[in-house]
C-alpha cells in the first residue's frame, strides 16, 4: 500500500514519483507520462510544441517547470 509519505514531488510540484505509478518513475503530475519522455523528445531534435501536441495531458507550464528545474540542478552541481 502506498502512503503519502512514499510520494515525492519536485519541480514546483509538477513532477511526482509514486511507487504505485510506473514503479516510482518520475511522471508529470496528473499523468502516467514519464518526464524522461520530454528530454528524449528534445534530445531527438523534436520541438517542445510537438511534444505538447503529442501529449495533451501535459501543459506548457509543466514542461517549462521541468526544464527550469533541470537547469537549476545543473547550476547547483557546477557550484559544488
Query: Tens digit of pLDDT for each residue in 35-73?
Result: 999 999 999 999 999 999 999 999 999 999 999 999 998
Entry pTM: 0.86
Q: Which CATH number do you get for residue 9?
A: 1.10.10.10
Q: List, in order, residues 6 or more apart from 18 with CB less than 8 Å away.
A: 2, 6, 7, 8, 24, 27
In which domain, by residue range, is 50 found? Answer: 4-79
**Total domain count, the chain:** 1
SS3 4: helix
Amino acid at each position: 500500500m502506498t502512503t503519502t509519505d512514499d510520494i515525492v514531488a519536485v519541480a514546483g510540484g509538477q513532477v511526482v514519483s509514486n511507487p504505485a505509478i510506473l514503479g516510482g518513475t518520475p511522471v508529470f503530475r496528473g499523468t502516467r507520462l514519464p518526464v524522461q519522455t520530454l528530454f528524449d523528445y528534445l534530445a531527438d531534435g523534436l520541438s517542445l510544441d510537438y511534444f505538447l501536441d503529442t501529449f495533451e495531458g501535459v501543459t506548457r507550464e509543466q514542461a517549462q517547470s521541468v526544464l527550469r528545474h533541470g537547469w537549476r540542478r545543473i547550476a547547483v552541481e557546477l557550484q559544488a
